[in-house]
């Protein structure tokens, strides 16, 4: 029996929803691919046709949420009139889209994100990073800073981004206001560094 594209999408979606429920209820470390398969009412082997690892499921959740934020940003997010403001909007809208995953996202991202801003696409998080850094680069160019960013500048950005990301995931301040301040200051630091790196 041939499985239609629609059925595939429906199964993929079911797996992702089951994973969100289990990650939120049992935490990242206690959730297994087998448990996700049971919750999604499919065989474990079937799950592996869609996602080879638990990390790949998490990376997909993060990538989908960030992709939506990126599309919104490309459609009209560059509206603050400043590079600092626009980069702030880019990062914060991504974090806002990830809000429902906040409880389990930190340990998941420890696995899926590399601290190195390398150009490879080996691990599940690499594609997310590459896409995000491209958007950062486009935004910098949009604001009239010419040329390709140096590897050091990109590494500074990625280090700051991961720091903000990790802080946000554990931030218990009202409305995550401490993350707002940290992001504001991190972006300021990065933009200042662009003229010096």
Partner 1 sequence: MDVGELLAALPEDEFPSTANAEWARLRLREILVDLAQRPTPASSLHRFWTVSELSGQIALAYLTIWIRQWFSDAGAGKRRMMETNLRVALKLFHRLSYLRGAITKLGQAAANLPGLLPQQVADTLDRLHFDAPPMHYPLIREVVRNEFQKGAQEVFAGFETEAFAAASLGQVHRARLKSGEPVAVKIQYPGIARTIDADFRNLSALLLPLRLGKDWESAKSHFEEIRRMLNQEVDYHQEAESTRLARELFRPEDGIVVPRVHAAYSGKRVLTTDFIEGLHLPAYLATNPTQASRNAFGTKILVAWNRMYYAFMPYADPNPGNYLFLSDGRLGLIDFGCVQHYGPEEREIATLADRMSFEDPSLVREVIRRVCGLSADDPAMPEYLQMMEASRDWMMEPLRHSGPFDFGDEGHFQRGMALLADNARKRRTRAHPMYVYWNRSIYSIQAMLYRLRAQIDVHEIIRRERPL
Q: Given the rule CB under 8 A, which residues bind partner 1?
A: 80-82, 84-86, 88-89, 92, 173-175, 177-178, 180-181, 184, 192
> What's the CA angle centered on 119, arms 117 and 195, to 5 degrees?
55
Which sign does the torsion angle of CA 101, 157, 176, 67 carry?
negative
Residue 61 CB, shortest distance to partner 1, in Å, is 23
Q: Which residue, 95 or 154, has its beta carbon nearer to partner 1? A: 95
Q: Which residue, 108 or 191, has its beta carbon nearer to partner 1? A: 191
Q: Are 124 and 59 in contact (CB under 8 A)?
A: yes
Residue 180 CB, shortest distance to partner 1, in Å, is 4
Give the number of other Cβ atoms within 10 Å of residue 79's Cβ.
9
Residue 177 CB, shortest distance to partner 1, in Å, is 4
Residue 79 CB, shortest distance to partner 1, in Å, is 9
Query: What is the four-CA torsion angle of 56, 60, 63, 65, rounded to 10 degrees?
Result: -140
Q: Which residue, 28 or 88, has its beta carbon nearer to partner 1? A: 88
Q: Which residue, 144 or 175, has its beta carbon nearer to partner 1? A: 175
- 67: phi then psi, degrees, rounded to nearest 5: -60, -45
């Amino acid at each position: 029996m041939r499985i239609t594209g629609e059925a595939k999408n429906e199964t993929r979606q079911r797996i992702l929803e089951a994973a969100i429920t289990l990650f939120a209820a049992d935490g990242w470390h206690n959730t297994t691919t087998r448990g996700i398969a049971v919750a999604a009412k499919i065989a474990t082997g079937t799950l592996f046709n869609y996602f080879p690892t638990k990390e790949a499921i998490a990376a997909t959740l993060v990538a989908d949420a960030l992709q939506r934020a990126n599309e919104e940003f490309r459609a009209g997010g560059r509206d603050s009139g400043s590079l600092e403001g626009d980069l702030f909007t880019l990062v914060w809208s991504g974090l806002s889209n990830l809000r429902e995953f906040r409880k389990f996202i930190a340990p998941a991202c420890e696995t899926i994100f590399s601290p190195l801003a390398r150009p490879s696409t080996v691990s599940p998080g690499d594609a997310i990073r590459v896409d995000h850094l491209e958007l950062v680069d486009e935004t910098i160019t949009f604001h009239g800073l010419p040329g390709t960013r140096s590897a050091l500048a990109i590494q500074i950005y990625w280090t700051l981004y991961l720091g903000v990301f990790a802080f946000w995931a554990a931030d218990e301040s009202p409305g995550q206001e401490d993350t707002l301040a940290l992001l504001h200051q991190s972006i300021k630091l990065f933009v200042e560094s662009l003229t010096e790196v």
